[in-house]
Structure 1
Amino acid sequence: MNIAEVNDQIRSNKGIIGLVEKVYENSVMIKIHINPTDIFYENNVTVINHKNYEVIKKAALQL
């Protein structure tokens, strides 16, 4: 399992694509960029379990 880090771009098992804002022990909080589902997220933020996403783009190094 590849656990995401802050500013990584991820895709959930449901197809939601977003940017990781915070990493928790068992999940990540993301700001949603693309939502192909019928689910409405009022604040464009959701929490996804580590088992239910894949990292599609790692964050650039911050100096």
Structure 2
Amino acid sequence: MKIAEIGNVIEFGNGLQGIVEKVNENSVIVNLTYMENFNSLEIEEKTVVNHKRYKILAAANNN
């Protein structure tokens, strides 16, 4: 299992996507405002996702 890093874009749940803001021992904190349709979803801005429950879509842009 590959663990996400800060800045990675991940997908989880029913197609939700977000940017990893913090990596914990068993989970990551994800900012969901990355999604274009965030405002229409009426969900919280951030959530916690277990490492077993997401897949990494894009690596962090470490420019």
Q: TM-score range by the shorter chain?
A: 0.7 to 0.9
More helix by share: 2
Deviations 1:6-57 (A, max 9, x none): 000000132110000000000000000236xx7732xx10000000000000
Task: Give the distance between the partners of 2:25 and 2:9, measured in 1 at CA.
Answer: 18
TM-score, structure 2 as length reference: 0.79
Query: What is the number of equivalent residue pairs in this alignment?
Result: 58
| Unaligned 5+ runs, structure 1 | none
Name the amino acid aligned to 2:6. Answer: V
Q: Which position in structure 2 is the counterpart of 1:40?
A: 43
1:57 and 2:51 aligned: no
Output the aligned Cα RMSD.
1.7
1:25 and 2:25 aligned: yes
Task: Give the distance between the partners of 1:40 and 1:61, measured in 2 at CA.
Answer: 28
Task: Give the distance between the partners of 1:25 and 1:39, measured in 2 at CA.
Answer: 28
Q: Which position in structure 1 is the counterpart of 2:10?
A: 10
TM-score, structure 1 as length reference: 0.79
Percent of residue pairs identical:
38
